[in-house]
Structure 1
Amino acid sequence: MRTVYVNGEYLPEAEATVSIFDRAFLMADGVYEVTSVLDGKLIDFDGHLARLERSLVELDMAKPAAFDDLLSIHRELVRINGIEEGLVYLQVTRGAAADRDFVFPDPKQVEPTLVLFTQSKPGLADNPVAKKGIRVISIEDQRWTRRDIKTVQLLYPSMGKMMAKRAGADDAWMVEDGHVTEGTSNNAYIVKGNRIITRQLSNDILHGITRAAVLRFAREAQMKVEERPFTIAEAQQADEAFITSASTFVMPVVEIDGTKLGDGTPGPVAGRLREIYLDESRKAAI
């Protein structure tokens, strides 16, 4: 049975509980991070921790008591559960007040809730899907406007993935004011004329930790990067497309709204970036 972490305790998952009055359950009042594990080590941990801290600040949410111990907690869960390849999910909420109320509870009286669990994903790095690519559809972006904060408000992205599934696709790219914002759980990119194009950072998209690493590696490899919005029509005319996230790394996109990109197979830029990212991330893993 998997061991999880809840508010200072390592517990069998069947024994782990959170109050029905927890703010995440009642108000989606929580933030989260997902850190990949390769070879039993954490990928981009410092970036995830920094973004978690930023999310807490943006929502005026107190740090959990164990915030400074998060690295050791991650490592202990990886060890206990024998994770070689997989993910560590972390969630912080504003805690559980005595009753339901829209007003934030007093942080001096209500401790934040801290939950972590692991997911074993053998073959995460050698995912065969990366060799054939994924197909995406476009949908209207109907989320709130602070997408830069990694909150647990994931209902619409979940609905978007279901729209894609019903359409026979793998995922969806969200569109606002005629331009792609991002994927349901990933950042979106196209490649045209040896230029990697992706939307610039703002409140409109999540500031992806994998995004930052991949763009850094791309520039170090002398690839040209252009940060600006692009349309679905422009994407359909691109040489390549791909997504990035902590769980997919760099994943080629081979079809957008039924239009194949090139010959419908993953292109060289996405393939090379995936190789570089995995190689460099493994070297820097902790």
Structure 2
Amino acid sequence: MGRIAYVNGAFERHGEAAVHIEDRGYQLADAVYEVWALFDGRLADPEGHFARLERSLSELKIPMPMSRRALTVVLRETVRQNRVKDGLVYLQVSRGVAPRDHAFPTDPVSPAMIITVKAIDRAAAEAKAAKGVSVITTPENRWGRCDIKTVGLLPNALAKQAAKERGAAEAWFVDELGFVTEGASSNAWIVDADGTLRTRDTNANILRGVTRYTLLDLIRETGMKVDERPFTPAEAKAATEAFITGAGALVLPVIAVDGAPVGKGVVGPVATRLRRLYIERARETAI
């Protein structure tokens, strides 16, 4: 069975699905997106992802294309038609189709919505996590509203490509003060020598990661110390551990930054434990 996409009210073959040439998401990146991890065919962290979607749409003054309840039905049906158990669900909502103009359409248009699903090899993902990954750093060059999950991801794509060319899995943006903001598609974390976990606070220009929020709750439940305070690349290299979080990465250990080893240069116990705890929680709460 081939992949199936949901496009503006219809289920279509993935390779044949299309959007209008004047969709504002394509023309102007006037659109937002959301990503759910799938465990056993169910949506992980549902409340957080729905809330972030609604907030992103509200910030851009794009109406929800349908109620949360109806959207849940459509998401589940898209997953069912693709027969995917473990994977990722991508949702994109644009302002809609209108003659190209930077200003919003004068006459109201309906939002356009696309949903796609892809499978993930969980065994391969676990092997990758057991080995750990490396990251590079790059100057922060994104716009000032990274808290909105828009499809305008060109700086992120360029950073990811730079990481790929250097044999790394992720790129960490570094602001003008020398602090890491976040990854190109993830939130960044380190573990200090005293065992304190550190990650950038969301008052900075970073995405409000849903996996990040769930992990913060788990960390506090375990009694571990956490400090939402920025860190420099030098502090990351001097840390005992580092890792990234996101719907795709889950909790993924980082063993090197710009070629320098983090800690002993191997996956540490904190990241390993947090990955296990997060997956357990995600499976428990998925819908």
Following the alignment from structure 2 to structure 1, what is the Cα–Cα distance between the partners of residues 202 and 174?
16
> Over the residues paired in the alignment, what is the CA RMSD in angstroms?
1.3
Cα deviation, 1:199-238, whole Å, max 9, x if unaligned, reads: 0112510000000001110110011000011111111110
Deviations 1:158-187 (A, max 9, x none): 100111112222211000021000001000
Q: Note the alpha carbon deviations across 1:61-109, whole angstroms, 9 max, x for none.
A: 1221465411111111111111110011000000011x21011014x63
Aligned to 1:135: 134
Describe the shift of the 1:242–1:165 C-alpha distance in structure 2 as closer, same or farther (beyond 3 A): same
Query: Which residue of 1 is the match for residue 101 of structure 2?
Result: 101
In structure 2, what is the Cα distance between the partners aligned to 1:247 and 1:14?
Answer: 23
* 244-253 or 74-83, larger mean C-alpha shift: 74-83
The share of aligned pairs that are identical, in percent, is 48
Secondary structure of residue in 2 paired with 1:128:
helix
The aligned counterpart of 1:224 is 225
The answer for unaligned runs of 5 or more in structure 2 is: none
Counterpart of 1:47 in structure 2 is 48
Q: What corresponds to 1:120 in structure 2?
A: 119
CA separation in 1, counterparts of 2:113 and 2:67? Answer: 8
For 1:203 and 1:125, the matched residues in 2 are separated by: 34
Contact 1:91 1:115 in 2 (8 A): yes
1:271 corresponds to: 272
Q: Report the Cα distance in structure 2 between the residues aligned to 1:203 and 1:153, rounded to whole angstroms.
A: 19
Question: Which residue number corresponds to residue 7 of structure 1?
Answer: 8
Provide the rounded CA distance (Å) in 2 between the counterparts of 1:203 and 1:112.
29
Does the CA-based 8 Å contact 1:145-1:203 persist in structure 2?
Answer: no
Contact 1:85 1:124 in 2 (8 A): no
Match for 2:166: what amino acid?
A: A
* Counterparts of residues 14-93 of structure 1 (less than 5 Å): 14-65=15-66, 67-93=68-94
**Aligned partners of 2:24, 2:234: CA distance in 1, in Å?**
41
Q: Distance in 2 between matches of 1:124 and 1:2?
A: 21
SS at match of 1:127: helix
Q: For the Cα contact (< 8 Å) 1:36–1:247, is it kept in 2?
A: yes
> Following TM superposition, by how much is the alpha carbon of 1:110 offset from its aligned partner in structure 2, in angstroms?
0.9
Question: Which residue matches 1:161?
Answer: 160
Q: Distance in 2 between matches of 1:257 and 1:126?
A: 22
Please identify runs of 4+ aligned residues in structure 1 that moved more than 3 A: 65-68
* Counterpart residue type for residue 8 of structure 2: N
Aligned counterparts of 2:126 and 2:70: Cα–Cα separation in 1: 32
Amino acid at match of 2:101: D
Shift in Å at residue 269 of structure 1?
0.6
Cα drift, residue 126 of structure 1: 4.7
SS at match of 2:83: coil
Residue by residue, what CA displacement relative to the aligned partner does 1:247-276 show, whole Å, maximum 9, x if unpaired?
Answer: 110000000111101221111110000000
1:45-66 Cα distance to aligned partner (Å, 9 max, x none): 1211110000011111122146
SS at match of 2:182: strand
The one-letter code of the counterpart of 2:183 is: G
When normalised by structure 1's length, the TM-score is 0.96
How far does residue 14 in structure 1 lie from its aligned partner after superposition?
Answer: 3.1
- Do the aligned partners of residues 124 and 150 (structure 1) sit closer, same or farther apart at CA in structure 2, a change above 3 Å counting? farther
